[in-house]
Amino acid sequence: MPIDTRRALLFMPGDDRRKIEKGAHLEVDSIIMDLEDGVAVSNKALARDVTRTALQEITFGNSECLVRINPVTDDRLFQDDLLLTFAGRPQGYMIPKVETPEQLQVIDQRLTELEHQYQIAEHSTILLALIETARGVVNLREIAQASPRLRALCFGAEDLAGDMGAIRTSDGWEGFYAKSAVVLHAKAFDLQAIDTPFIDLRADDALLSAETERSAQMGYTGKLAIHPRQVGVIQQVFTPTATQIDRARRLIASHEEHQINGVGVFVFEGKMVDMPMIRAANTILTRARSAGIRV
């Protein structure tokens, strides 16, 4: 699995070695060891130790390993989060509650210092930004351009609802503007868009699948996960099906034939086709390839 494929990203508390070990065997695209809200305040120091040691000792296969640190506004915590986990060499960090580009720049500079200290390639540590406050949403344009390390914008619906005094609904309409803004800015600045976790663990898998499907329809290519059971469901939705791949291939072949004959627009299986549909077909093939499917 190429490292830039992030369909499911599974959170686990950074102080829970058992869950981290479980996560290592799930063939999930990304693992996120959390030091922020999934860890009790009294366990923050322990979580840094457990996370660093787990990174050093456990074999994670093809899964990308990320650490979610505490927000930059919490100066006491985030500095130690970076300092005390960097030796584990996670591929990157997830930064929560990002509200300004300066907050990402502070992290960027600190990582550059650490990369020098550890004599590893500058900018090899990547960043994912969680957008989960009203200020984060209104500053998306600047945040999206804040650091060359940035790979993805992630939408956090729970915190956003809390920040706005909104009430969470099952179809998430209260966060729709923000959810739409996150994916739009991600696409505008060549970043990945990753959707909020589905937190109802009693709900049927079909509900998670349907929610993930709706995110995919909006252009999201990944979703945060909180339980091993969610990984397969999410990764499946973000992997093009054999039927979709076959159709995309035939559509592109037909397009190329028409181009040779000087025809730009044509009818394919009863529908008009021109360049936007060809681009969409190419996107399906790219996503299939990055999910490890030979096309």
Contacts to ligand COA by CB under 6 A: 10-13, 18-19, 22-23, 34, 37-38, 197, 226-228
**Cα–Cα distance, 69 to 57 (Å, whole number):** 20
Q: Which residue's beta carbon is nearest to the bound ligand COA? A: 38
Burial label for 95, CB within 10 Å (0-12, 13-18, 19+), is buried
Dist CA 157 CA 85 (whole Å): 27
Minimal distance, residue 130 CB to ligand COA, in Å:
10
Segment near Mg ion (CB under 5 A), from 44-52, 66-74, 109-117, 149-157? 149-157
The angle at the Cα of 39, spanning 38 to 41, to the nearest 5 degrees, equals 135
One-letter identity of residue 21: E
Cα three-residue angle 76-158-203, rounded to 5 degrees: 130
Phi and psi dihedrals of 131, rounded to 5? -105, 110
Shortest distance in whole angstroms from residue 131 CB to ligand COA: 14
For the chain, the C-alpha Rg in angstroms (whole number) is: 20
Q: Is 74 in the site for Mg ion (CB under 5 A)?
A: no
Please, what is the minimum distance in Å from the beta carbon of residue 120 to ligand COA? 27
3-state secondary structure of 288: helix
Q: Is 159 in the site for Mg ion (CB under 5 A)?
A: yes
In the complex with ligand COA, which residue's Cβ is closer, 232 or 247? 232
213 close to 237: Cβ distance less than 8 angstroms = yes
Contact 35, 47 (CB under 8 A): yes
Contact 16, 46 (CB under 8 A): no
34 binds, among Mg ion, ligand COA, none (CB under 5 to 8 A by kind): ligand COA
Q: Nearest distance from residue 125's CB to ligand COA, in Å?
A: 21
8 Å CB contact between 288 and 280: no
190 catalytic? Reply is no
Q: Which window, 146-154, 155-163, 165-173, 177-185, contacts Mg ion (CB under 5 A)? A: 155-163
* Residue 159 interaction partner, one of ligand COA, Mg ion, none, beta carbon < 5-8 Å per kind: Mg ion
CB-wise, 35 or 284, nearer to ligand COA? 35
C-beta of 95: minimal distance to ligand COA in Å?
14
Which of ligand COA, Mg ion, none does 14 bind, CB closer than 5 to 8 A by kind? none
Residues marked active site are found at: 274
Q: Which residues make up the interface to Mg ion (CB under 5 A)? A: 156, 159
